[in-house]
Amino acid sequence: MSPYDEQVRAYLADCRKAAAELEARGSALDPKYHPSADGAVKMIPHRGDLAEAKAIREAFRDLAEQDGERRHAA
C-alpha cells in the first residue's frame, strides 16, 4: 500500500467524473494525459521530489489495474 493510494483513487474518480461531464457536452478528456501516471503526478502534490513522483506513478499503475482503468505508462 502506497501513501499515495487515496490521492490516486481520488484522481481516478475525478477523471471519471470529468470525462462524464465533458462527454455530456460533446467533448472528451485528452486521453494522452488523463487518466495517466503522468497526469496523476501533475495533479498530486509531491514537492518535485523524484522518489515521490515515482511512488505516485507506481500507485497509479497498481490502482488503475485493480480498477480496470485504461492507463498510460510513464
Main-chain dihedrals φ then ψ at residue 28, nearest 5 degrees: -160, 155
Q: What pLDDT sits at residue 39?
A: 94
List CB contacts of 56: < 8 A, sequence separation 6 or more.
Answer: 2, 4, 7, 8, 37, 40, 41, 44, 46
| pTM for this prediction | 0.83
pLDDT in tens, 60-74: 999 988 876 554 444
**CB of 35 within 8 A of CB of 64?**
yes
Distance CA 6, CA 25 (A): 29
Distance CA 63, CA 27 (A): 26
